[in-house]
Structure 1
Amino acid sequence: MVLINEFMISGILLGFASGISPGPLLAMTISESLKHGSHAGIKVAVSPFITDILIVSIILLFLLKFENYDPVIALISLAGSLYLISLGISSLKTKSVNLKLDTQKPDSLKKGIIANFLSPHPYLFWIAIGGPILFKAQEASTFSAIFFIAGFYALLVGSKIVIAMMVGKSRGFLKSKYYLYTIRSLGIVYMVFAFYFLKEGLELLN
């Protein structure tokens, strides 16, 4: 049960950090909320539920080929730590939220799906971070893996839905100090996970 809780907490923290950090999907969520109301932003926010089924399946099949090759998994873990460090530094250095908002016609869900498929973020996350954690969770138990995925997507999508609702009501939310402080504090979370991946990678390389 302790392991299950640990993996769920990992999913929740990573999902929340990914959900509120500036990126293409968040920009589109905010854009649609500003122009067409919160309901349009929410349609964009839920698009990972559709796109990531294919994305995650392809990446996990790719990683399964190397699951028993410690050097490959070690290099992936080290790459993941570098990726997390870059995300952490970016979050800690955030001074304001400047997102390019598109001006296309309403078709929110479709635009969200396309944006997520074309964004490198989900691919990088599942290759370098999510995939290795998911395999480790699976080793503990099937429920651990399920709880990790559930925690991750509940917060990834849920946090964007909350932002869409808040932006729909108040455009000043994105400029508030609370939002900026939250993004900066999540930089520390990224660093903690980076240390974990660095440790795992070095152990596999002996």
Structure 2
Amino acid sequence: MEALALGFSLGLWAGVNPGPLTLLVIRQALTHGAGAAALASLAPLLTDSFAIVLAFLVARSLPPGLERALEAVGGAFLVYLGCKGLRRSGPVGGRGTALNGLRDAVVVNLTNPHMYLFWFAVGAGQLKRPLPEPLWFVLGFYPAIVGSKALIGLLIARYRHLPWLAPLARWSNALLVALGGYLLVVAARA
């Protein structure tokens, strides 16, 4: 049960932690509604398995060049998403936009070096423990990370009509641009 509590705690922390995926979930909630935000919050389920396998293959350490490349690609993608969002005005809907949001969330998560560092430094060690500990860890982690991001999206979408939330979509897009720019600077400096 310790592994379940640890997985849940780490998943909850990762779910509410401000970062590119959380900003994308907020943007989806404000522009496309709760369904699109919930769909975008599923990205960790689709991307983390890749990081887990990579963590085992590369023996728990990212080569510095790969980390910089991921930061640069991720930063450029965040700048692109933020600029695209800033050009768009007002809420739009539809199934295609929700699926596009999920695609964007998957790309954001795959190019986020923090996801890989988490699985290399913390997750891989938990998954190498004797059974059933890894299963409890995963059963705590994924519902917490996906559920907390989906809850943030649901709350934002529910109250998006409030006048003080209207500028939040623009701010989340501007923050995506700023975060992407920061990642590009960090990648170039390293």
- Using the size of structure 2 for normalisation, the TM-score is 0.63
Cα contact 2:126–2:133 (8 A) shared by 1: no
Cα contact 1:45–1:160 (8 A) shared by 2: yes
Q: Flag structure 2 segments of 5+ consecutive residues without an equivalent.
A: 62-81, 166-190
> Which residue in the other structure is 2:134 paired with?
145
Number of equivalenced pairs: 132
> Which residue in the other structure is 2:42 paired with?
46
Q: Distance in 2 between matches of 1:101 and 1:161?
A: 24
Q: Distance in 1 between matches of 2:84 and 2:133?
A: 39
Cα contact 1:47–1:109 (8 A) shared by 2: yes
The C-alpha deviation readout for 1:168-192, integer Å capped at 9, x for no partner, is: 01247x99xxxxxxxxxxxxxxxxx
Q: Does 1:166 align with 2:159?
A: no
Query: Structure 2 counterpart of 1:152, which letter?
Result: F
> Which residue in the other structure is 2:28 paired with?
32
Shift in CA distance, 118/146, structure 1 to aligned 2, threshold 3 Å: same
> Which residue in the other structure is 1:121 paired with?
114
Q: Does 1:10 align with 2:3?
A: no
Q: Flag structure 1 segments of 5+ consecutive residues without an equivalent.
A: 67-99, 176-206
State the 4+ residue runs in structure 1 displaced beyond 3 angstroms: none
Q: Distance in 2 between matches of 1:155 and 1:101?
A: 30
Cα contact 1:28–1:101 (8 A) shared by 2: no
Percent identity between the aligned chains?
Answer: 30
> Which residue in the other structure is 1:63 paired with?
59
Query: Structure 1 counterpart of 2:107, which letter?
Result: I
Q: Distance in 2 between matches of 1:157 and 1:101?
A: 26
The C-alpha deviation readout for 1:27-53, integer Å capped at 9, x for no partner, is: 000001100001111111001111111
> Which residue in the other structure is 2:16 paired with?
20
Q: Distance in 1 between matches of 2:159 and 2:37?
A: 14
- Using the size of structure 1 for normalisation, the TM-score is 0.59
Shift in CA distance, 52/132, structure 1 to aligned 2, threshold 3 Å: same
Q: Distance in 1 between matches of 2:13 and 2:83?
A: 21
Cα contact 1:56–1:126 (8 A) shared by 2: yes
> Which residue in the other structure is 1:87 paired with?
none
